Amino acid sequence: MKHIPLENLRAFVTVTDLQSYTLAGEHLGRSQPAISLQIKRLEDQLGSTFVERHGNKMKLTAAGQDLYQAARQILGLHDQLLSRFTADSVSGQVRLGIPSEFATALLPRILGQFSSSYPQISLEVTSALSRDLRLGASRGQFDIILTVAEQAPADAVKVKEDALIWVAGRADYQWPQQLPLVVAAEGCIYRRRALQALKQHQNEHRIAYTNSDLTGISAALKSDLGITVLAKSSLPQDLVELKHSELPSLGTVGIYLERHTQRPNAAAEHLLAYLQDYLNPQN
């Protein structure tokens, strides 16, 4: 009887989650060509094309979307069995705080896989500005927070150095003499870096729309109300990086995981290690 190798399914799911063959290879401890070969073998075995490339982006075909949902269920059951029979059962609740842009673009799939692998751990996830997450953590509202910062917070683990990029609703977006900005409220690193860079390079600009949620920002960008700044790894698939000679470079920011548990919490430690592994597979 023929069977689908689990390692090929895991390669496919990981590539889809991370939107990168290279990052998937780093995460799984394999080379980028090996990951590509695994997905090619999966397509050959099932007689369908699952992944298409559009410029620098990858997109699942209709068959790929069906396979992704089924593969996640299969791998989730597999990981649950391993967790149940090969290690001490870990249970409990973890309160996680994450910036809204990562909540929308990066973490839902990762957290979904974690929940499938550790169904006995209850996750309570809140998204907000990094500034507000740190305030909430200081008040004992979170066990773990993921934050974006220009300097390392105390006792934080840096998991990634990420480039800041200009983002628009479409690649051919054109603006009038004054560059309109779509930004979060004051206190947002992206807003501050954008304003600093534009002022330094003497670019005429104005704030056209303010919203601290990525869903609202995305809607404004798609309506051509302006452009914004995001960390590159949080770029949603339906938005584009805007590259233009008139736009100044924005530098990088650090992405950090911070532990704020008041007492030993094995469930929180499991999630912390899981997020570190996904966000920085080279560690």
Residue range(s) of every CATH 1.10.10.10 domain in the chain:
1-87
Cβ(269)–Cβ(203) under 8 Å?
no
Other beta carbons within 10 Å of 95:
21
Cβ(203)–Cβ(246) under 8 Å?
yes
Q: Above 50 in pLDDT, residue 283? A: no
- pLDDT, one tens digit per residue, over 251-266 is 999 999 998 887 778 8
Q: pLDDT category, 1, cuts 50, 70, 90?
A: low
Query: Average per-residue pLDDT in the chain?
Result: 86
- pLDDT, one tens digit per residue, over 158-206 is 888 899 999 999 999 999 889 999 999 888 899 999 999 999 998 899 9
Cβ(214)–Cβ(236) under 8 Å?
yes
Cβ(278)–Cβ(110) under 8 Å?
yes
Q: Which residue, 243, 127, 253, is CA-closest to 184?
A: 127
Q: Above 60 in pLDDT, residue 88? A: no
Q: Cα-Cα-Cα-Cα dihedral of 196, 199, 205, 210, to 10°? A: 20
Q: By mean pLDDT, which of 106-115, 242-251, 268-277 is the weakest?
A: 106-115
Cβ(112)–Cβ(72) under 8 Å?
yes
Those residues with Cβ within 8 angstroms of residue 81's Cβ, 6 or more apart along the chain or in another chain: none
Top mean pLDDT of 18-27, 115-124, 164-173 is at: 164-173
Greater confidence, 107 or 207? Answer: 207
The residues that bridge with 156 in the sheet, in sequence order, are: 258
Domain 94-283 has CATH 3.40.190.290: yes
Structure tokens belonging to residue 92 = 């409990």
- pLDDT, one tens digit per residue, over 120-148 is 888 899 988 888 898 999 899 999 999 99
Q: What is the CATH number of domain 1-87?
A: 1.10.10.10
Residue range(s) of every CATH 3.40.190.290 domain in the chain:
94-283
Greater confidence, 108 or 77? Answer: 77
